[in-house]
Structure 1
């Protein structure tokens, strides 16, 4: 018995499939709805929390508003109370974007009780860009006190505990009203419902020059902006920032109400799934279109006649970092990208004379060590060291801040103007990604194993695939963390040609069923006369070589990808 509630020990059976990645545990909703399934995983998280453990800790809890989220919050509250957690900080209606959660975790940890290293961790309820609803996906992710995803040693421990769990602890708390901001007390355990938007907007106003952006929008009174929340978590954030703070018309934000099934859509901000935004940008002559995904850590930037490839986006932001007040204060410490992301960022790092890192998701250690400022992924993820997650709205505001500054130098600045100037200075890295979703997992794995076998015997090096494409090196990329020395192996088959072109093959684990094969293709162009080529046209010979080398159509049974970026 605890003051305010009683605690029971619930017998359970272990589930063999609760292995989380850095993006957490993602399954179909019906899997999480199995008896004990969600409770088991939450108990495993609390049992695996680094020293000093769950006792006396504070947890930030929230998610992207998808189906089953509010029910999961109630389960988390009851298990947290039973395990001695001191307090939960929960976004109203269980909603909290991933970047906003990272910010709250970091703030709580910075102001927490001395010695309690877990006084500021988080449980995020999201499957990111995956579809939601009763027949689709749900996810649970644990973030540590720096605001970033749990490192592999912690997720491995969660999995180990989950495989041998025989019981969990549960408090008999009443159902908590998640719709009203305020404090709920149950003896020594408290649940605080907070505005999910307020702290995040305050942080953005410290990072960017909102006055300068407003002046730009006033000066360019015919400038049209349209933000698509895709019925995910960022709709309310977009309304507050673009309408309330920047004074734009109310119709500057679309699909802004978070829905449990994302309105039946796929909340992934790319040219395929954000087609409604893409169509409106072209039809209505929108100067600046943007979208974010279900949980708010991804972004897409487009304008009429212009698509900003995510690889170019992070490079442009880094090249213009001096335009952003945050980096004026902190300086540019280093740049990083995921391995498949194009090498356009590498060229900016060299020109700026800063450290550069090629890795895979695990950039928090570099930021904590003060060696990294801006990072990005070709999968529409961009971020900086203001938090320890990617941040979609941060990237959108970065582009607006850059536009505002460039417009003062050359009136009527556009997205295309900025890209063109970037290409003139650095050249253009043509880049595309082909996604083959929900293919047969066994056949996809056989394809990758065949390529690994060819790499191990060194038979690919020197191979001529036509069109001037001779293989220089081939490997299975492994990331060695410069800070703690940890190694993440088999992060993608990497083929590099003598002219610098690259092809990368990966099996993705972000889906809840089947497998997704991702093919990344890149070719550098230094001739200004060829900067305006269509990306697919420029890359066609490399794509054809990549498909022939891997025999991807034969292994997947697909003659075309599900999504082309």
Structure 2
């Protein structure tokens, strides 16, 4: 059985010799068989290949008896919420999220608007391997265009029901780096309705992402951080390519890692609720566990990937979940990553707590961190992980290998979407960080 899904959805590299249309058609047929009829909501991000891929997959779904309601350009979390709110059988989002512009991909959601589980992914992969006859003309269902603005009101009304919006109206000046993608179609409208002053960065749409790479990281946000310092804002937020991740920055332009902003939000929710389960992948900082438990919460680790965090939250009735990459999941709203609602939630937390993001961040223990992505074939990445696992002994091995030493920890894992070995090292001192870095890289065979 061919492996189609990675950490988050199916990814395809649109370079010569890297893909073929027959394979794309078969993927569409497998998804159509999975839904087995019904109405499906479809959307896409701004990538140069997204419209064409949307038409291929949407056309195949239609030919196999699935009625497609096409939203066109839309952030993933908006589509996900509307799948559930409008009673669709499922959703299909054409996006490669944070990957470079030559990539594209497909995210498949169930009727609850959440990306399908790992078991359901395997079901689609098994359907991909099955031959299926073409359908007759009377089996074809229509493709219907749906206006984003028409459905967006449902999403906005839901946020107003969840949070006391009057408490944040007109209180903030915010900068947002939209990565030239679809979050810019939604957040400005919501903030305008709240009287929030917005300073837009990389706000025009472009499938080549000319402003910066669509993955918001410390290194890719250096230019954004310099701009934020000059803008005089309360805080800033940077989105990925499909708007489901939000990386925050202080008003001084300091990037707040996703697991730290996640802790700030989780702590506020724990104080409001009196406790609960907080879910995060093994890639998150050791600071997370200490902070969550200090406020009466219980931390649950998962594999890396919002799919695992979302489904774990639903299984255990968790309070919230988050990732170090800026993904935050608040099940009371919807158990999926949502960079837009997270931005509104952050304003609620800052307003209620009476502190700036900079103040909240300064109260967390500071650690020195090193992140790297080493390009290498997947088989070599797996071999490197196995070699380290054999040497360290006691480790968390649900996703790669993570070892905690008290004053430091590291995680080495193969990427689920690219031929990359991902490395995270965190330590309480620069010296310990460098010691661990040298030890790891020697065993991986990199200087």
Return the TM-score normalized by structure 2: 0.88
**2: CA distance, partners of 1:227 / 1:207:** 23
Point out the more displaced range, 375-384 or 357-366.
Answer: 357-366
Q: CA 1:406–1:188 in 2, change beyond 3 Å: closer, same or farther?
A: same
Uncovered stretches (5+) of structure 1, i.e. residues with no partner: 1-15, 110-118, 173-185, 218-223, 408-412, 459-473, 479-490, 524-537, 560-565
Deviation at 1:130, TM superposition (A): 0.9
Q: Report Cα offsets for 1:46-65 as digits up to 9, x if no partner.
A: 22x2xxx422x121111222
**Map of 2:194 onto structure 1:** 246
Match of 2:168 in 1: 213
Note the C-alpha offset of 1:437. Answer: 4.1
Q: Secondary structure of 1:262's partner? A: coil
2:219 is aligned with 1:272: yes
Partners of 1:108 and 1:120 within 8 A in 2: no
Scaled by the length of structure 1, the TM-score of the pair is: 0.71
Show the counterpart of 1:26.
11
RMSD, matched Cα: 2.8
Is residue 2:266 matched to residue 1:318?
yes
Shift of 1:377: 0.8
Summarize the Cα distance change of 1:390–1:332 in structure 2 as closer, same or farther, 3 Å threshold.
farther
Deviation at residue 544 of structure 1 after TM alignment: 2.2
Alignment of 1:61-460 (within 5 A): 61-85=42-66, 87-91=67-71, 94-109=72-87, 119-132=88-101, 136-165=102-131, 169=135, 189=142, 191-195=144-148, 197-217=152-172, 224-242=173-191, 244-249=192-197, 252-263=199-210, 265-303=212-250, 304=252, 306-321=254-269, 333-360=276-303, 361=305, 362-369=308-315, 371-385=317-331, 386-407=333-354, 413-420=355-362, 422-423=363-364, 428=365, 430=367, 432-455=369-392, 458=393
> Using a 3 Å threshold, how does the CA distance of structure 1 residues 68 and 452 change in structure 2: closer, same or farther?
same
Which consecutive residues of structure 2, in runs of 5 or more, have no partner in the other structure?
none
* Partner SS, residue 166 of structure 2: helix
Deviation track 1:20-62 (CA, whole Å, cap 9, x = no partner) reads 1351111212468623222111111222x2xxx422x121111
Q: How far did 1:287 drift?
A: 3.0
User: Matched residue of 2:86: which SS?
Assistant: helix
CA apart distance, 1:506: 1.1
Equivalence for 1:522: 426
Q: Distance in 1 between matches of 2:443 and 2:171?
A: 49
In structure 1, distance between residues paired with 2:316 and 2:415: 30
Residues 1:510 and 2:414 aligned together: no
Equivalent position SS for 2:210:
helix
Task: Work out the CA distance in 1 between the residues paired with 2:391 and 2:279.
Answer: 29
DSSP-derived class of the 1:449 partner: helix
Whole-angstrom CA distance in 2 between matches of 1:74 and 1:510: 23
Once the two structures are superposed, what CA deviation does each residue of 1:416-463 show, in whole Å capped at 9, x if it has no partner? 22223x43xxxx1525241224235454333222113324xx4xxxxx
Equivalent position SS for 1:89: strand
2:156 partner SS: helix
Q: Distance in 1 between matches of 2:445 and 2:435?
A: 16
Q: How far apart, in 2, do the equivalents of 1:547 and 1:377 lie?
A: 22
Cα distance in structure 2, aligned partners of 1:500 and 1:89: 52
1:243-301 Cα shifts (integer Å, max 9, x gaps)? x2133456x12222332222363111122223332120123343311111001111111
Q: Please give the per-residue CA displacement for 1:205-248, whole angstroms capped at 9, x wherever unaligned.
A: 3333322112523xxxxxx4211111111011121122x21334
Distance 1:78 1:199 in 2: 27
CA distance in 2, matches of 1:345, 1:369: 21
Instruction: Describe the shift of the 1:171–1:390 C-alpha distance in structure 2 as closer, same or farther (beyond 3 A).
Output: farther
Q: Is contact 1:66–1:259 with CA below 8 Å preserved after alignment?
A: yes
- CA distance in 1: counterparts of 2:389 and 2:444, whole angstroms: 17
Counterpart for residue 531 of structure 1 = none
Query: 2: distance between equivalents of 1:552 and 1:299?
Result: 34
Aligned equivalents of 1:104 and 1:429: distance in 2? 39
**Structure-2 separation of matches of 1:237 and 1:345:** 31
Farther-moved stretch of structure 1 (61-70 vs 121-130): 61-70
Deviation at 1:367, TM superposition (A): 3.4
C-alpha distance in 1 between matches for 2:142 and 2:112: 23
**Is the radius of gyration larger for structure 1 or structure 2?**
1
1:554: Cα distance to partner?
A: 5.9
Query: Separation in 1 of the partners of 2:211 and 2:224?
Result: 15
**Equivalent residue, structure 2, for 1:176:** none
Deviation at 1:190, TM superposition (A): 5.4
For 1:8, the equivalent position in structure 2 comes to none
Task: Check conservation: 1:268, 1:294, Cα contact below 8 A.
Answer: yes
Query: Alpha-carbon deviations, 1:173-212, whole Å to 9, x = none?
Result: xxxxxxxxxxxxx986452413164433333333333221
| Deviation digits for residues 94-131 of structure 1 (CA, Å, limit 9, x no counterpart) | 2121211210121133xxxxxxxxx4311111111112
Inter-CA distance 24–187: structure 2 relative to 1 (3 Å threshold): closer
Give the one of 54, 67, 76 matched to 2:36: 54
How far off is 1:74 after superposition? Answer: 2.2
